[in-house]
Structure 1
Amino acid sequence: MKYLEFLNIEYIVVAMAAMILYLIYFVLSKDSESHKNIRSVASVVEDLNREIFYLKKELDTTKKEIKAHNTRMSDEDIYAEVERTTYDLVKPVSLGLKRVEETLVVMDEQLNLRIATIQSGVKQISIPTSVHGNDDEKIISLFKQGVSLETISKELHISKAEVEFVLKINKIK
């Protein structure tokens, strides 16, 4: 029994040693990957620093050239440049406004034509005779005298429905 316990302890120790060796291997492999990544980042940073140095040098050279060739514009030149730029900016707006004005004129003409057409159409529509107050009073008077609806409609030359409508509006029937 003690022998089996000793073997179990030996297996446990061997298993733990194997795990420790695996962990050491894993850590070392990850460490070497990290070193590779750090070296590649360092080389990229070095290349960037070199590019920045060359760009700064080129910028200084360009600044010196600009200062050497810098000529100051006269007031007349500045005024002419401002005037030209303003004209270039205003011209498209002016053309656009002219187009809008032309469109509005055309729309106004079309609108006037439509209004004239509608007015002529409205003039052709006849207003029913029962709309007039005099006919309403005649209908009510005749109905109160006991005249039948058919007789009222024949006498006033309106439909029976119009007679009924007038009586209903006036709350007589």
Structure 2
Amino acid sequence: MTWIMAGGGALFLLLLLAYLYLKEMETNKRLRHFEKSIEELNKQLYKLQKKIKEDEVESEFSSSALSHSLRQEVKEAVNNAAAGIYQSVERVEALWMEHRDRVDEKIVMLEERVKEMGYFPTSPNGVDEARILSMFKDGWSIDSIAKELRIGKGEVEFTLKLANIE
């Protein structure tokens, strides 16, 4: 019964870790998407700023009132576009921070759960292979190893077969 509960606990932990791994992959995928979006927005902003500079140079050569008003309109249009891009970047950053906080909270919860569960054996089925091999080499019989470690004879035999010891 203890083995079943330990196996169930280990299975639960394994499934929980797999779930977290998949969520982390999904998060990374979203972050890459956000990064691409931000990079795209930065490129557009750069193009707009370049266009403003070009327009400023052109307006310097033309001093008429019409070119001055046109220049003002272009500046306003570019500033409005840049403000929209900046707001979009701020929203993406806020979403990213919110998602990061949620992931951090989940990590803390998992760490607490792992601490609550206590001891976890190094091997998934709780068998200490090194100890079994050491005891067998020291002359212990399969039955006595199984009794000493409180495991089944089959597990001892299986471990010895895996180590190519017969």
Q: TM-score, normalised by structure 1?
A: 0.46
Choose between structure 1 and 2 for higher RCO, CA contacts under 8 A separated by at least 6 residues. Answer: 2
